[in-house]
Amino acid sequence: MNTLFRIQSSIKHWLDKVDEHSIHSPFFYDFYLRIIRGETKSHFTDIEKLRTQLLQNNSIIKLKDLGDTSAYFKSEDRSISKIAHTSLTDAKYCELFYRIAENIEAENIVELGTSMGITSLYLAQLKKSRVTTFEGNPDLINIAKTNFELFGKKNIEIIEGNIDQTLSDYLQNPAKIDFALMDANHRYEPTVRYFNWIAKRMSDTGIIVIDDIYRSPEMAKAWNELRKHDLVYSSVDLFTCGILFFDLSLTKQHFIWSY
């Protein structure tokens, strides 16, 4: 992870960000107040208890970096607690993703990068949701499956294997995707490629969230290209992640907000 690049990007983001007083679009004014600044009505206490257990679990598993090389580990032998500290999405962002998906009444949800299944469990709390999550690391898959079984979630399907192959196979199904979270291979080429595959299957009001958009110069490059994509009608830069809107009724706009 390029620390200097992230610091420089963070400063620029802070200088460029705006608040609701600079938002003239009624849609995005409402989105900012209700979704970005709003609160989640659902409660995720049990999921957060599970997170705490993972953060305290010192068992060692094998974990090979399938995307960008980890800045935190030097070997494939890694403790569950350290993986949880460095890889699990923060609760505030899990709640944000839940609110976004809830706002568009997402039913068909795709997640690239299951990790240990915390974010999957958040998204699966939506009553009508069907979460399809992709993961390539066998030990993480086993942990995630155990967690899904613990919560009795029947609306989560984990697809195992290299996302290069499994995602392509999955998208042969013509069903539309309402919400997609891309948090897997944090490199330029795979990010752009996965986006292009998924974008063709997005519903009319669909949303794609791309995580870690300023993790590195190549992720920033991918983000700046994808937010200008012909199928993207508006975008929001939250620094930690980027939100891409496929709603045809929106005009081309780009917002930089804090969260």
Please report, for the chain, the start and end positions of each structural domain, with discontinuous segments joined by +: 3-46+89-256
- Domain 3-46+89-256 listed as CATH 3.40.50.150: yes
pTM greater than 0.85: yes
- Of 109, 68, 38, the residue nearest 214 (C-alpha): 68
Separation CA 106–CA 116 (nearest Å): 22
The residues pairing with 79 across neighbouring beta strands, listed in sequence order, are 60
Separation CA 184–CA 69 (nearest Å): 12
Name the amino acid, one letter, at 234: S
Longest pairwise C-alpha distance within the chain: 51
Torsion region of 152: left, alpha or beta (phi above 0 gives left; psi -120 to 50 gives alpha): left
How many C-beta atoms surround the C-beta of residue 252 within 10 A?
10
Condensed to tens digits (0 to 9), the pLDDT of residues 213-254 reads: 999 999 999 999 999 999 999 999 999 999 999 999 999 999
pLDDT, one tens digit for every residue, the chain (259 residues): 589 999 999 999 999 999 999 999 999 999 999 999 999 988 899 999 999 999 999 999 988 656 555 455 456 788 999 999 999 999 999 999 999 999 999 999 999 999 999 999 999 999 899 999 999 999 999 999 999 999 999 999 999 999 999 999 999 988 999 999 999 999 999 999 999 999 999 999 999 999 999 999 999 999 999 999 999 999 999 999 999 999 999 999 999 999 9
